[in-house]
Amino acid sequence: MKVAVLRIGHRLVRDDRTTTHVALVARAFGSQKLYMTDVDDSIMRTIDVVCKRWGGGAPEFEIEIIDQWKNLISNWKKDHGKVVHLTMYGVNIDNSIHELRKETKLLVVVGAEKVPREVYDLADYNIAIGNQPHSEIAALAILLDRIFKGRQFRKHFASAALRIIPTAKGKRVEEISKS
């Protein structure tokens, strides 16, 4: 399944760290793209460094800066993709996950500050990861985990320079030769 993430409502500086987390989760949990409307160089740089070191850069994962999120959503839908909006007001993930897994192309919308009402109307699915306030980072992680059933943690990231050898104590990292 092709999954992209759209970050809306990013407030420069205030949301830089949380949007960086959104980007890192999008990459690590198997989505292929993060769309953002605001250019934030620090986020781009962080993701660039992570992809060079740990692999999985473009075309596996990339960030694309867009002008208008509304255009992206309507083009996505024209192209037979479905739009999932994560919101604490939505339908419980358990009631939608079977349907979602049947889709082939999903755009997951995560907001920072208050999300415009239109997003609720444009979305094919308004989904709650629990109906309590928490974090769009956590919500994105749980959604992708439910979609990929934990397989995302065994994903191979191409062109990595380093690889972790999982260990019970300390840190073990292996350099990957480029031969």
Q: Which span sits near a copy of itself by CB under 8 A: 1-9, 63-71, 74-82, 160-168?
A: 160-168
From residue 26, alpha-carbon distances to 69, 117, 167 in Å are: 18, 24, 25
Is there binding between residue 89 and a copy of itself (CB under 8 A)? yes
Per the CB < 8 A criterion, the answer to whether 109 and 152 are in contact is no
Q: How far is the CB of 175 from a copy of itself (least distance, A)?
A: 15
| DSSP one-letter string for 41-79 | HHHHHHHHHHHHHH---TTTSEEEE-S-HHHHHHHHHHT
Q: Does 92 bind a copy of itself (CB under 8 A)?
A: yes
Binding segment for a copy of itself among 31-39, 66-74, 102-110, 133-141 (CB under 8 A)? 133-141
**Taking the C-alpha atoms of 100, 102, 104 and 106 in order, what is their torsion angle to the nearest 10 degrees?**
0
Q: Tell the smallest beta-carbon distance from residue 64 to a copy of itself (Å).
A: 20
The separation between the first and the last C-alpha atoms of the chain, rounded to the nearest angstrom, is 31
Residue 169 binds to a copy of itself (criterion: CB under 8 A):
yes
Tokens of 62: 């990339």
Interface residue with a copy of itself, options 15, 31, 62, 81 (CB under 8 A): 15
Residue whose C-alpha is closest to residue 74's, from 82, 62, 66:
82
User: What is the contact mask toward a copy of itself in residues 20 to 59, using x (rule: CB under 8 A)?
Assistant: -x--xx-xxx--------------------x---x-x---
Other Cβ atoms closer than 10 A to 14: 11
150 binds a copy of itself (CB under 8 A): yes
Q: Which residues bind a copy of itself (CB under 8 A)?
A: 14-15, 17-18, 21, 24-25, 27-29, 50, 54, 56, 88-94, 117, 120-121, 125-126, 128-135, 137-138, 140-142, 145, 150, 152-153, 157, 163-164, 166-173
